[in-house]
Chains A and B, each alone.
Chain A
Amino acid sequence: KNQVEQSPQSLIILEGKNCTLQCNYTVSPFSNLRWYKQDTGRGPVSLTIMTFSENTKSNGRYTATLDADTKQSSLHITASQLSDSASYICVVGQWDSGYNKLIFGAGTRLAVHP
Chain B
Amino acid sequence: NAGVTQTPKFQVLKTGQSMTLQCAQDMNHEYMSWYRQDPGMGLRLIHYSVGAGITDQGEVPNGYNVSRSTTEDFPLRLLSAAPSQTSVYFCASSYRTGGTDTQYFGPGTRLTVL
A interface vs B, CB < 8 Å? Answer: 4, 31-32, 41-46, 49, 51, 89, 91, 93, 97-107
Listed A/B pairs (5) with beta-carbon separation below 8 Å: A43-B92, A44-B90, A97-B56, A98-B50, A104-B42
- Interface SS, B side: strand
Q: Quick one: which of A31, A100, A107 has the most chain B CB within 10 A?
A: A100
B interface vs A, CB < 8 Å? Answer: 4, 31, 35, 40-45, 48, 50, 56, 58, 90, 92, 94, 96, 99-108
> A32 — which chain B residues lie within 8 A by C-beta?
99-100
- Interface SS, A side: strand
Residue pair B90, A43 in contact (C-beta under 8 Å) = yes
> B94 — which chain A residues lie within 8 A by C-beta?
100
Residue pair A31, B100 in contact (C-beta under 8 Å) = yes
**Nearest 5 CB-CB pairs, A to B?**
A104-B42, A43-B105, A104-B43, A32-B100, A100-B101
